[in-house]
Structure 1
């Protein structure tokens, strides 16, 4: 009998110090439309973070609104008098190759340039589709990835289970823990300094929740990173600074920030921080007291451990999009209705941070944890596949939090956050806004 999501997550967080306050659920009938149990994964991951939050803060009651949890697995900002930019680049998407489907991820300008260079075509969908049609899907995937871009050939669930990387991911724990050192910390989240070196989307989901319940989150971006379509989601509650870790003066600033951090969250591929001179040993020397939680796309062992990836690509690789296509009787890949791997991994990262803070307080052990989108995909698949469930009912004014958010682009409303502790929801001190607008200091 397969274990429930809740049981697998509890095992991954560890048998010690399990939360003592049960999470009370409301709006129990809400579901997302999928042949996978995306709803169960969403609720279980948010509930795990909520339970850890209650345990750290000493809350006597924690509630989770199921409908709002599912809404927070999607875009949550509702602009008033202005419009959000598109989420996807015009070239990004699924294309039919000579022997199947492949997805190109081109939201970052340099990833787009790589894909177009490999294909040798104009930057429009018709030209890309024609160029892709002449390639074998795995050959094109390899060419794009080897050139520094992002692509994923579509595999079936069975194909991924037999693939060397699929087998490597299956051996990975859902949360990989290790003891980093010894240190001390406060018995609360208020004022905890979180250094956020993540981009999109899982890492920012984790730090966004931490910011809402008292942490001081400082997000650091390199000078050339922008993704306007998701910035209204990933910046809420945070101060945002820019540093170039290839520049000596900025490295000095970064090292000062890290030395004062209570928590480091990063989403660099394995070896990327080491390439900048900040391997695990260097980080431990600079910040021996800092809890560290990190993620990557394709797992921490196997031939693809260092591969660039995103939620939509992992869905293609791991068989999710192919199974959706098969179950729907569709002619093209059918992904999940939301980027559930990103969001679920983000809430699991938040839960890991919170558990690690409690461990540090109780025992003096400073923990590091590793997660991946591909391993979260395996968690979702473990829940089985069936008929498509119904989708959410249309949003109403009752779904929105009271008040207006003065974002950096204009006023907006936001969907009510699903978690409340002792009747109180999050309080984000900083509205969403553009990147690199704050000084790099605590």
Structure 2
């Protein structure tokens, strides 16, 4: 699995493996789903090692703790004297329809409103369940999606493999690369201790996969500026994903704010975006327009259901993709999903690896890269891997909390309150992996890049 990921993100075919060993903790690591998460972290770390070697001249060694990989995929923080806000809306759950199961994703208020507009006069999940029990699952899925909401029928693996979107995803590469020739890059990095210090990353991602990628880049010293629309909220996820970043807001429906975004695109070195496949184009920011604005801009996109097929522009999240693709399954009248949102986290770390490889390519004069990844393609990796799917779903996950890692945690004063932040699941020799910025609330900063350190 790791080799397939590295082949997807690397231009070379003879990449040596990362030097791995456990460095803290005594708990037994997970297997199954952990294989996917750990492989993606290895890809990101190994790509960083290669970049440091080529830019600064020396390849550092690296270590990884597989148990901490799992912990970070659940939550990286333990609040001190207070409780995290919930990351799930009360209507976000699995419901039994007339002919099967369907999952609603209602964490965003407008997605919730769209779903409830289809269900009618319901005010509680219990009332919603009564209404959904009389619907055909596929018809309800289509009705909610057409209304602008988010839902997914629980399909088995065979149903997904014969579905037009499943067929399209299976034919896509893990990372879809597009390389164009360009003038030399405009970024200059300063020290291997903070190997990405001096790099400006414009972060147009939300929820988990994209923010995991930009969090990794921020941890290496990149100046990450995250932009969110008005009123967008991610509940308890934000404190996990905002660390190390500047978080600002723009309303891209307003011409003035869209003009500000365009100025940021002109000055950025890397753009990571997690909108639906057609979203930037609908703003006038087509691939050719981005190249016109900034010919040296590296652009990496992430979406739920892939770059091709009838669902390429469909709204989606990890929990929905698990159910669409056959990763989740029904057992004894209960829908059983992965022990954490592994599709999101794996896609996120692999996106970070893709950015690092694009930087290597650009530094070597090989052109400017744009790339695309999806959660559904990560689901396909899981389904294709030589792993017992049933055992993977049944595998336990470690509870949130510092546990045996308490002595290694970082004290962090966030906008929500003090927390203990887990140590990172990796170490890279000679790299300062301490967080430069604590987690701040969305839209708490100005939409501008900071001073280069």
Determine if the TM-score, normalized by the shorter chain, exceeds 0.5. yes
SS at match of 1:191: coil
Conserved 8 A contact 1:175-1:370: yes
Q: Secondary structure at the match of 1:259?
A: helix
Moved over 6 A (4+): none
Equivalent residues of 1:23, 1:50 under 8 A apart: no
1:330 matched to 2:332: yes
Residue 44, structure 1, aligned to residue 51, structure 2: no
Which runs of 5 or more structure 1 residues have no equivalent in the other structure? none
Pick aligned residue for 1:273 from 280, 295, 316: 280
Shift of 1:252: 2.1
Distance 1:364 1:106 in 2: 43
CA apart distance, 1:6: 1.1
Contact 1:315 1:335 in 2 (8 A): yes
Partner of 2:192: none
**Matching residue of 1:411:** 418
Q: Partners of 2:246 and 2:257 in 1: how far apart?
A: 17
**Which of 235, 240, 257 in structure 2 is aligned with 1:233?**
240
Task: Give, in angstroms, the shift of residue 364 of structure 1.
Answer: 4.2
Deviations 1:48-105 (A, max 9, x none): 0000111112342111111111111111111101110111001110000000000000
1:327-353 deviation line (CA, Å, top 9, x unaligned): xx4311100000000000000000000
Indicate which of 317, 321, 346 corresponds to 2:324. Answer: 317
Report the count of equivalent residues: 430
Residues in 1 aligned to 2:316 and 2:18: alpha-carbon distance in whole angstroms: 35
Q: How does 1:77-92 map to 2 (within 5 A)?
A: 77-92=77-92
Residue 434 of structure 2: SS of its match in structure 1? Answer: coil
Partner of 2:442: 435
Change in Cα spacing, 1:53 to 1:229, as seen in structure 2 (3 Å) is same
Q: In the alignment, which residue of structure 1 is the partner of 2:208?
A: 201
Question: Aligned partners of 2:14, 2:204: CA distance in 1, in Å?
Answer: 28
Among residues 377, 381, 391, which one is paired with 2:396 in the alignment?
A: 391
Once residues 396 and 72 of structure 1 are traced to their aligned partners in structure 2, the CA distance between those partners, rounded to angstroms, is 11
Give the drift of 1:403: 3.5
**Corresponding residue for 1:53?**
48
Match of 2:20 among 17, 24, 31: 24
Q: TM-score w.r.t. structure 1 length?
A: 0.93
**Among 236, 244, 253, which residue is 1:246 paired with?**
253
For the aligned residues, what is the CA RMSD? 1.8
TM-score, normalised via structure 2 length: 0.91
Q: 2:173 maps to what in 1?
A: 173
What runs of 5+ residues in structure 2 fail to find an aligned partner? Answer: 54-58, 190-194
- CA, structure 1 residues 65+424, in 2 after alignment: closer, same or farther (shift >3 Å)? farther
SS of aligned partner of 1:83: coil
The alpha-carbon distance between structure 1 residues 132 and 385, as it changes in their structure 2 partners (threshold 3 A), is farther
